[in-house]
Amino acid sequence: MKLKSLLLMSTGAALAATAVAAQDMADSMTIVSWGGAYQSSQINAYSDPYQEMNPDVEIVWDESSPEAVARMRAMEEAGNVTWDLVDVVAADAIRLCDEGLAMEVDHDEMLAPADDGTPASEDFGELIVSDCFIPQIVYSTTNGYRTDVAEWEGRTPEDVCALFDLENFPGTRTLERRPINNLEWALLCDGVAMEDIYDTLETEEGIDRAFAMLDTIKEDTIWWTSAAEAIQFLADGEAVMGSTYNGRLFSAIVEQDQPIEMLWDAQVFDIDGWVVPADLPDDRLARVEDFLVFATDTQRLADQAAYISYGPARASSAPMVGTHAELGVEMAPHMPTNPANSERVIVFNYLWWADYRDDLDARFQAWLAQ
């Protein structure tokens, strides 16, 4: 009797607690992402299972990540932030954090620990590049080349310097229309050691050196602004070699069976993840926090890798990466973090670029236009 009433009471209390918690959370949430295959992987791995658990919650997806920084500033100025959770690259997260537009988060307090109890901040490790940033995936900007170029007479590019080797690998290149990555590769192929790249770029001579190297392929390069363009150039044979995101190359090679091959050498690691807009109302923040605990746990991050070839940001998720959800291919060999692929990696120096981006971008665009 006593036990029964105790049980009843505790169940009642638990019910009441859930009721209170549910009351405090908003019923809808706007998540901003990049659209395309990447957003589908998030819907499959995070939001569909979450909505199964919380059928009352409505999730609205917005494909505005490419202009997220500007939109969030505009919303903040207008005093009406309509977004709840925003997917951005690490460099944008740093910028948003600097501008006070993103909320600072305590990773250990907000996110689930790994299955073995490792706190979130250790599980994500160095990928937490900003106090506002919750890492999600590791992707890389790397190169791909066509396998059917007759002029190459059977030679295949071995390393990233094939980009600058017009003699052995003639043809049009396609590179991103911004200084980031291109300057690093140029210096690397001009004989600068990997660890000295950023020190060299801080000097005027170093910058000149990088641009001189880029000068050698300036006339043979189409400069892209959206990653889809790069794939289109490669697939149409407009370009024989070029850089884009590894996931885009994966889908061109594996899913669409194009005659393209990966060139993993000197891939540039970059991170993509969530930021929460600053000063959300309490009920919306509670909903976002609830979603984040679920969507960034070890299993969910590993699940996402079944839909897209980006490496999960948690160390504890890596062993759980399985096969592609539709094609059944083993995903691990296609991950940028796979040991065979990451023998030589440039780690994108976010904080350095946060300082030098404005200056070098002006220089790069002037160089391009002339």
Partner 1 sequence: MSDATAGNLSQAAAESRRTDAEQTGPMLAADGRPLKQSLNRALRAQKLRALALIAPLLLFLLVTFVAPIVDMLFRSVENQIVSETLPRTVMALEDWDETDLPSEDTYAALAYDFREAAERRRHTRLGSRLNYEQTGLSSIFRRSGRGIDDVGEVYADQFIALNAAWEEPATWVALMGDPDWIAAQAEWAATEDTEAREPSFRLATGIENVLPETADAYRSFARAIQAEARNPDSPVEEEPWNTVYLALYRDLAAAPASAITGYSGPEEALLREAADAVSGFETVNLRETFAEIEEGWVEMPVWGTIETFSDPYTAGYFLASVDLRLTPQGIEPVDENQRIYLLLFQRTIVLSLSIMGLCVILGYPIAFLLSNLPMRTSNLLLILVLLPFWTSLLVRTSAWKVLLQQQGVINDVLVWMGIVSDGARLALINNQLGTVIAMTHILLPFMILPLYSVMKTIPPSYVRAAKSLGATNWTAFWRVYFPQSVPGIGAGCILVFILSIGYYITPELVGGRTGIFISNRIAFHISDSLNWGLAAALGTILLVLVLVLYWLYDRIVGIDNVKLG
Q: Is 75 in the site for partner 1 (CB under 8 A)?
A: no
Looking at residue 324, what DSSP letter applies? Answer: -
Q: Is 366 in the site for partner 1 (CB under 8 A)?
A: yes
CB of 352 to partner 1, least distance (A): 8
Kindly tell me which of 172 and 299 has the beta carbon lying closer to partner 1: 172
The correct pick among 59, 69, 183, 318 for binding partner 1 (CB under 8 A) is 69
Q: CB of 180 within 8 A of CB of 357?
A: yes
**Range list of β-strands (E), the chain:** 28-32, 58-62, 85-89, 134-146, 173-176, 221-224, 241-245, 260-275, 311-312, 345-347
Number of residues that bind partner 1 (CB under 8 A): 38
How many Å apart are CA 248 and CA 49, to the nearest integer? 25
Q: Is 358 in the site for partner 1 (CB under 8 A)?
A: yes
Interface region with partner 1, contact rule CB under 8 A, candidates 19-27, 29-37, 303-311, 349-357: 349-357
Q: CB of 177 within 8 A of CB of 199?
A: no
The correct pick among 63, 279, 330, 343 for binding partner 1 (CB under 8 A) is 279
The residues that bridge with 24 in the sheet, in sequence order, are none
How many Å apart are CA 51 and CA 48, to the nearest integer? 5
CB of 345 to partner 1, least distance (A): 23
How many Å apart are CA 236 and CA 240, to the nearest integer? 9
Triad 289, 293, 299: Cα angle to 5°: 155
Q: Is 367 in the site for partner 1 (CB under 8 A)?
A: yes
> Per CB under 8 A, which of residues 184..243 are in contact with partner 1?
211, 222-223, 225, 229, 232, 236-238
The correct pick among 58, 99, 115, 199 for binding partner 1 (CB under 8 A) is 99
Q: Is 351 in the site for partner 1 (CB under 8 A)?
A: yes
* Residue 323 CA, distance from chain mean position: 20
Q: Is 67 in the site for partner 1 (CB under 8 A)?
A: yes
How many Å apart are CA 78 and CA 89, to the nearest integer? 24
Q: Is 18 in the site for partner 1 (CB under 8 A)?
A: no
The correct pick among 1, 53, 340, 369 for binding partner 1 (CB under 8 A) is 369
Q: CB of 145 within 8 A of CB of 250?
A: no
Helix H or strand E encompassing 145:
strand 134-146
Q: Which residues bind partner 1 (CB under 8 A)?
A: 66-67, 69-70, 73, 95, 97-100, 172, 177, 211, 222-223, 225, 229, 232, 236-238, 279, 351, 354-359, 361-363, 365-370
